[in-house]
Amino acid sequence: MSFQPVFAEFWEKVTESITNKTLAKLTLAKTIGDTELKNIYVRPVLLENDVLKLSVIARYKTEEIESFHSLEEAFFVLAPYMNNPFLTAILFTTENDFTFKLNKKRVGTIIEQAPTFKNASDVILEMKEKGI
């Protein structure tokens, strides 16, 4: 069974956290083996004309590469990294933390926990203030 439907469900929670202005950050971590790519961090950013994009920072052993994507584009950018090389994605919101995990059989599950962050990201707070 593919883990992708569960990852799509997880991504709905990412979308909801942006809509509800509760997103703190999103991290892809826990690689399979020793890989060049160590983590991917995703944070919201406001570009010119208050356009919301997601900053995707891929952290490698020797460098970091940042790219900017719409919410929809970010899903297609990040999804291929699940299971190759990452086994975990963690969504931090002010209401709950959601962890998408792949087990040894590559079955995806979502675990909900108490929130780590009390405040949403600065950009989300700015969007709230501006009424975006």
Give the pLDDT of residue 3.
84
User: In whole numbers, what is the pLDDT of the chain averaged over residues?
Assistant: 93
Distance, in Å, from the CA atom of 35 to the CA atom of 53, rounded to the nearest integer, reads 27
Give the whole-angstrom CA distance, residue 110 versus residue 56: 22
Locate 64 and state its tokens.
């970091």
Q: Which two tokens stand for residue 71?
A: 């919410």
Burial 87-113 (b: 16+ CB within 10 A, else e): bebbbbbbebbbbbbbeeeeebeeeee
Residue 40 has pLDDT above 90, yes or no: yes
User: Does residue 99 register a pLDDT over 90?
Assistant: yes
Residue for token pair 């961090």: 41
Three-state DSSP class for 6?
helix
pTM of the model: 0.92
Residue whose pair of structure tokens reads 């799509």 in the numeric block = 8
> Which alpha helices (DSSP H) does the chain contain, by range?
4-19, 71-78, 122-130
**Among residues 122, 113, 90, 117, which one has the least CA distance to residue 7?**
90
* Residue 50 pLDDT grade (very low, low, confident, very high; cuts 50, 70, 90): confident
Which pLDDT score is estimated for 113? 97
